[in-house]
Structures are given as structure tokens and as C-alpha cells.
Amino acid sequence: MSTTSTETEVTESEPESGTRHVAFVGDAGAGKTTIAALVAARLSERTRVHVTGEAAQLVNDRDEGTDGALGLEWTVDDCPPDAEAIGARAERLDAAFIVATPETLESVARYERRANRHDVDCFLVVNRFRESERDRLRTFDGPELAEYFYDDEAVSTATAADRVPSLSEWTVEAILIEALQPERQPAERALEALECGERSIVNVEVTERADVDSVVDSFETAGFHAAYFECNCKCHDGHVLARRRLA
């Protein structure tokens, strides 16, 4: 089984409920609504999802779930362009994603401070990324980078026409992975963490696509939800996330 991980000993801290609530925040013009709509659209292919804010004009709520959703429902908030939006919904948030462009990275600290003040996990999403900005992004002192999206005229064209952009060779699922469980563990250790109640959700990084079915099966055979999530990393194929079933 070809899996890799960064193992971190933690105590259980993930929410036990069957819902996840994430917010997309950032300055006006950074592409916050576009990213929120992309994530909501992908979620709507997996599970029940409720969308708020301007992104709701692009993605309709979905009321049905599938087997690939870990038994979870989601709310995606496309927030007003103000850091105060985090505080207004902090008590119900599982994570906030700060959307910025390379030109607006300096504004990220304002949102990060607000998230930290309310003890909300926050991550960075960089929109309109260019390869010339890679070194700057690598050394940027801010929240952990969840994902970046390349500067793409087709994306701008789609959003101008009130359509969700199509990213044929780029996935948004890394954002879902970060919202659910950013810490990686080996498959055997992850299964043990679920069985002993140390964690409610685990994340196994899968190097080869051929191993996905066996990893998923190992969790499902033990009585847990399990699903495969894609990512854009070149060093591995994707991730299998597994979750305890609610009583």
C-alpha cells in the first residue's frame, strides 16, 4: 500500500456533528465569490449543500447526498467583503478561507487576526496566481495555503456571464480536505485513531491511484465512512478521508 503522511499526535478536537460550515472571506474584487461558487458546485456533486451570499446566484442548494460525502452536509457562506464577517458567524464556523490575489496579500493579516480572535481555523486561497509569484507566496507569512488558482481569462469570462467556471485540469477538493482534516496519518494509524476515538475524521495521503480502493475498503470494512478526494499536488495522487459514523 503506497501511502505517505506527516503524523501528528493530537487529541480529538473535530466536531462530531454531521454538518460542516465554511466561509469565504476577502476584499472586494479578489474573486471570493468565484472560489465559493467553485467549492459549492463541487460539493453539490457529492452531498447536501446550502449556499449563502452572492455565490447562491451561481450554485443552487442541493437536498440529496451521495456515498462519496462522508455522511456530511455543508453550508458555504460567500461573505461580505469585510473581516467583520468572520465574527458575525464565528460560533457556527468550522473554517474560514481568506481569498486574496498576489496583489492583495497584505490584506490577509486583517482577516487572519479576526479569525484568531474568534478561534476560527483559517486558511489562505490565492486567486489569479502566476508562476512569477511562486517565491513570494512560498515566503509569505500568513495562514496555511489551502490552494491557489491560476490567472485564467476563461474564469473571468464565466463569472461575468453568471456561470460557475469549469476547471478541467484543476480540482478544488484540497479546500475540502483542509476544512475536514489537514493532518495526514498513515493508513494503519488513521484507522487506530478512529477506533480509539482519538479523531472523528482522518486523512490518508495516497501516492498511487491504484491504492485508493483498498484504503477506502479498509475503513468501510471497519464500519467507517470513507471517500476519495483529489488534489493538485504532483508528489501524490490524492487523499482518502474517513469519518466515524454518528450513533
**Average pLDDT over the chain, rounded to an integer:** 88
Question: What grid cell was written down for 47?
Answer: 452531498
Which residues, in sequence order, are CB contacts of 82 under 8 Å at separation 6+? 25
- Computed on alpha carbons and rounded to an integer, the radius of gyration of the chain in Å comes to 18
Q: What is the SS3 assignment for 31?
A: coil
Q: What is the SS3 assignment for 89?
A: coil
What sign has the CA pseudo-torsion 211, 149, 55, 88? positive
Question: What grid cell was written down for 157?
Answer: 469570462
**Model confidence, pTM:** 0.87
Please give the Cα distance from 89 to 21 (Å, whole number). Answer: 10
Q: In the CATH hierarchy, which top-level class contains the domain 19-179?
A: alpha beta
Tell me the pLDDT tens digit for each residue of 179-221: 999 999 999 999 999 999 999 999 999 999 899 999 999 999 9
Tell me the pLDDT tens digit for each residue of 81-107: 999 999 999 999 999 999 999 999 999
Asked if 46 and 66 count as a contact pair (C-beta separation under 8 A), the reply is yes
